[in-house]
Chain A
């Protein structure tokens, strides 16, 4: 076994049937995953460049420091949906592991409908005025030399949770395929 792939996510996924919709969503999120990978590389390089610059030219650049948390915030927010899709979010599986697939699917159904979607909806609904406000007042960084257009990074919150909602819909279709046979499971690739 690969020491890094700790989760049983693959076995788990093999058991909940895939649907056409969930496969489509997974493919889309794979693209997002490559974007996030690039974000980490970029973040790493910017930190290294900024530290070097500080020692060579005597001072680091404020844009670079701000770019660091911009990238980090985008990275983890976009990552939420990717992690959801590969079912890597932390579960306490002491009891969960002993349950039948159908029991797990029921838990997943209620959890998604009563906990996951309400939470995601709250964030989506309230992040719209949050971004709008920043846009209308033309909010910029308060630091001299900081980055402009603060609404762009603020909208990462909305985008991250919107993708998470999409990933949630994909999972919901699989749960429903398992419990109610609607939609029909897609043949494995």
Chain B
């Protein structure tokens, strides 16, 4: 084995090892780039190995950081984050809950379906996977438990729908992935529309079938308001603003009216107006939303800065060729190689957030995928679904972790584990469908302007 290969592997292994210390991921990445540059220099000077990494090489990280700074596409990130946080504070979610419950409450399993629809409509909230899980848990969990829903069904729904948000466009994860792979953000957004709808559709079908088979898992409330014009109008008034906002953002990208950055800015403005109209906007709310925008943006970009230096040094050590050689050397057909990548990603997703995986792993494997002749939009969408699934998976799914933090004490971890299992199966079914039927991801993007 070449010394460079050993160094690359060590660099990767130390990263995985060190994150379990709980030290911030961003600085582990950045710090390791320094540590391994130093080791390479020592090996070079004292032992005479030629590694090809020294301070001059690692200082190129500054230019890479500058590329991130003057990147107009990434301006969309803080704006989408602001939009999501503002939408969260705008009272839109609570409005949706009260109105949709009245409409769907009469259907068996209706509350779970309501939570699913809200999750899809508020997918923009999910800059951080935790935010949507927490929002849905606070909003939907008490109502479902009050109405005698089986605990497993209630928590499973919240976890699954909450993690779905990182996939549904407009999603900041997709913005970041598109940027790293030099793809069009619009294409990726549109590529994820049908897969996202497919998954939420699968959830709803499951809820309907399951509650029909096990009626006591989801009792129908005794007193039901009749459906009248007032109720329909109420539902319409609650659904229209967030749905309109999301359609406006996606639509303006689709029809080429605005760039994703502009759409994000206008969306953020729209969310602020919604909050104003709902009388939820005050100086205090604005200040909190802005502060939260700062921290959320900063923790993403901190990892960005660290990962830039880390990837640079890893590449200098020859980590790229190592990965490519290893993947292409697998004794599988091209499809088998893709499946191996997905399995690897799935496992990494147990303990790494989407940010690190999109920044480090995705750029490493993407060239291999393109070499093998696969469509990059399709692959990225499949990759994203795979990542989202792994956040649901015990023992360390992020969604589970966040839910445990806000769920009432009578919900223990075992209940959550049991609750998410059916949804993991649904996810895998969805993944298989998108994998086999790639038109789901590639059909819509070809119509963009």
Contact = CB atoms under 8 A, between A and B. Distances in A.
Given A37-B287, A40-B294, A123-B65, A3 B131 contact: yes
Contact of A6 (B59, B71, B128): B128
B193 interface: no
Contacts of B188: none
Contacts of B85: 4
Given A69-B70, A115-B23, A88 B299 contact: yes
Interface stretch (A20-28, A74-82, A180-188): A74-82
Interface residues of B, number: 77
A75 B299 contact: no
A97 B34 CA distance: 28
A89 B24 CA distance: 6
Interface string B23-40: 111111011111100000
B26 A90 contact: yes
Nearest to A74: B69
Contact of A51 (B18, B68, B266): B266
Contacts of B30: 115-116, 119-120, 122
Nearest to A93: B22
Contacts of B402: 6
B282 to A, nearest CB: 15
B25 A91 contact: yes
Interface of B is mostly: helix
Contacts of A93: 22
Contacts of A104: 22
Interface string A78-117: 0110111010111111111101000010011001001110
A162 interface: no
A42 to B, nearest CB: 11
Interface string A40-78: 110110011011000000000000010011001101110
Q: Which of B65, B68, B294: most chain A CB closer than 10 A?
A: B294
Contacts of A172: none
B351 A40 contact: no
B70 to A, nearest CB: 6
A173 B26 CA distance: 21
Contact of B298 (A80, A115, A130, A157): A80
A69 to B, nearest CB: 5
Given A6-B402, A40-B82, A130-B66, A79 B24 contact: no
Top 9 nearest A-B pairs (CB, nearest first) are: A115-B31, A96-B22, A47-B265, A79-B298, A119-B30, A83-B298, A111-B23, A37-B290, A89-B24
Interface of A: 1, 3-4, 6, 33, 36-37, 40-41, 43-44, 47-48, 50-51, 65, 68-69, 72-73, 75-77, 79-80, 82-84, 86, 88-97, 99, 104, 107-108, 111, 114-116, 118-120, 122-123, 126-127, 130, 153-154, 156-157
Interface of B: 18-28, 30-35, 58-59, 61-63, 65-66, 68-72, 74-75, 78-79, 82, 85, 88-89, 128, 130-131, 134-135, 138, 258, 261-262, 264-266, 268-269, 272, 287-288, 290-295, 297-299, 301-303, 305-306, 309, 351-353, 355, 396, 402, 405-406
Given A76-B298, A123-B65, 18 more contacts: A4-B292, A6-B402, A44-B268, A47-B261, A48-B266, A51-B258, A68-B261, A73-B70, A75-B78, A79-B298, A107-B23, A114-B31, A116-B24, A120-B30, A122-B58, A126-B61, A156-B69, A157-B66
